[in-house]
Amino acid sequence: AQSVTQLGSHVSVSEGALVLLRCNYSSSVPPYLFWYVQYPNQGLQLLLKYTSAATLVKGINGFEAEFKKSETSFHLTKPSAHMSDAAEYFCAVTPYSSASKIIFGSGTRLSIRP
């Protein structure tokens, strides 16, 4: 079975500071991993995905994530936060073998301080 844990339901950083959103997963089979972003009153938009190629994945808007199998982690980072990054971020997992379901974490709300 697959599961996702996002540490911290709310993260606040200053504009220009490093953004780090944490995601740990549990999967009995090799996983695909995703980060989605949700802006207020909108649907979910794909930020980036890991599908067993490079372990460091670059996404849109300057975000990237590193797949660490030994730590079962897929943390999302951005070197310098921008006010427009304020949103809710969801980590998600699905197994290679049967991508019929995707399991989401509970989400992390990112706030940016001026």
Among 39, 46, 48, 60, which residue's Cα sits nearest to residue 112?
A: 39
Considering the rule CB under 8 A, would residue 111 count as an interface residue with other proteins? no
CB of 70 to other proteins, least distance (A): 22
If one asks whether residue 9 binds other proteins (CB under 8 A), the answer comes out as yes
Q: Does 51 bind other proteins (CB under 8 A)?
A: yes
Q: Kindly state whether residue 80 participates in binding other proteins, applying the rule CB under 8 A.
A: no
| Shortest reach from residue 114's CB to other proteins, in Å | 26
